[in-house]
């Protein structure tokens, strides 16, 4: 096992590699080698022996019985599901433009600890991220991701008070960018601030020739489903989050 700054990896003798990344809520997100299903049992045995805390594996729904069986034997059970959507960028821009009292600025122009506090506040109301307590250092580290683009990670800052009231994070993934998070603080719910953030990103992507982005919504988050379909989103896949939580560990 290799270990560095909340990222660990394991490998089998024949070269199959698995990685685990610790999230700010303490859970470990497991990334299994897609092309080495035969090695999953050995790799999962290693991770369940070495790590404490909740272990999470996300898999497309409707996969083979073999895959489900491997996860169940390793102590994982289905915990929640997400719908993956594909949204047309042009439809996001088709809505009337929104005027706002906020400045929309790149994340790199703000103090990391302030953005982390905003992110924590927003995530408290997002299914599946309860207990999320990210730090400024963790946020800064996340910007080293090769898919990070400062033009696609924006924050809404009130032009008078300076408060941070919303953010949108899109990872510049291939073949289509992925909307990782969008949210506003509670006082700005039921306003059009979220649409302002979406349109800012959509304008940038449209100018680059990008036609679609992807996004995920929790199966229980009906408001998000309505918002996505209202903007022309079409469901393309279901993702199941499998969880292994041993006795005495937090869920």
For 183-231, the pLDDT digits (tens) are: 999 999 888 899 899 999 999 999 999 999 999 988 887 777 877 888 8
Name the burial class of residue 146, with classes exposed (0-12), middle (13-18) and buried (19+) by CB atoms within 10 angstroms of its CB.
Answer: exposed
pLDDT at residue 5, as a whole number: 66
pLDDT at residue 227, as a whole number: 78
Among candidates 55, 47, 52, 57, which has minimal Cα distance to 2?
47
pLDDT at residue 248, as a whole number: 43
- Can you say whether residue 56 is alpha, beta or left, with left for phi > 0 and alpha for psi between -120 and 50 degrees? beta
What string of pLDDT tens digits covers the 251 residues of the chain? Answer: 555 567 899 999 999 999 998 888 888 999 999 889 899 999 999 999 998 889 999 998 876 788 889 999 999 999 999 999 999 999 888 888 778 899 999 999 999 999 999 999 998 877 666 667 889 998 998 898 889 999 999 999 999 999 999 999 999 998 999 999 999 999 998 888 998 999 999 999 999 999 999 999 888 877 778 778 888 899 999 999 999 986 544 44
pLDDT at residue 22, as a whole number: 87
Domains of the chain (ranges plus CATH)?
A: 2-75 (no CATH), 86-238 (3.40.630.30)
CB of 40 closer than 8 Å to CB of 72: no
Q: How far is C-alpha 93 from the geometric centre of its chain's CA atoms?
A: 23
pLDDT at residue 251, as a whole number: 43
Ordered strands of the 102-106 beta sheet: 2-4, 7-11, 17-22, 28-31, 55-60, 234-244, 77-88, 212-218, 178-184, 164-171, 153-158, 102-106
């Amino acid at each position: 096992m290799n270990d560095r700054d909340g990222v660990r990896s394991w490998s089998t003798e024949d070269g199959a590699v698995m990685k685990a990344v610790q999230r700010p809520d303490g859970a470990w997100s497991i990334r299994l080698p897609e092309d080495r299903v035969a090695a999953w049992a050995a790799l999962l045995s290693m991770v369940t022996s070495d790590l404490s805390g909740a272990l999470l594996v996300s898999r497309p729904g409707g996969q083979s019985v073999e895959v489900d069986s491997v996860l169940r034997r390793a102590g994982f059970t289905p915990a929640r599901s997400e719908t993956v959507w594909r949204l047309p960028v042009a439809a996001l821009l088709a809505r009337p433009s929104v005027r706002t009292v906020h400045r929309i600025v790149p994340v790199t122009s703000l103090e990391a600890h302030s953005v982390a506090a905003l992110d924590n506040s927003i995530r408290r109301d997002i299914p599946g991220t309860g207990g999320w307590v990210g730090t400024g250092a963790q946020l800064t580290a996340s910007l080293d991701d090769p898919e990070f683009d400062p033009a696609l990670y924006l924050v809404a800052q009130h032009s008078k008070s300076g408060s941070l009231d919303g953010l949108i994070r899109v990872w510049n993934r291939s073949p289509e960018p992925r909307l990782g998070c969008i949210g506003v603080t509670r006082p700005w719910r039921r306003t059009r601030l979220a649409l302002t953030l979406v349109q800012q990103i959509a304008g940038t992507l449209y100018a680059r020739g990008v036609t679609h982005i992807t996004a995920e919504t929790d199966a229980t988050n009906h408001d998000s489903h309505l918002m996505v379909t209202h903007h022309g989103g079409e469901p393309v896949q279901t993702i199941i989050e499998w969880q292994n939580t041993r006795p005495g560990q937090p869920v």
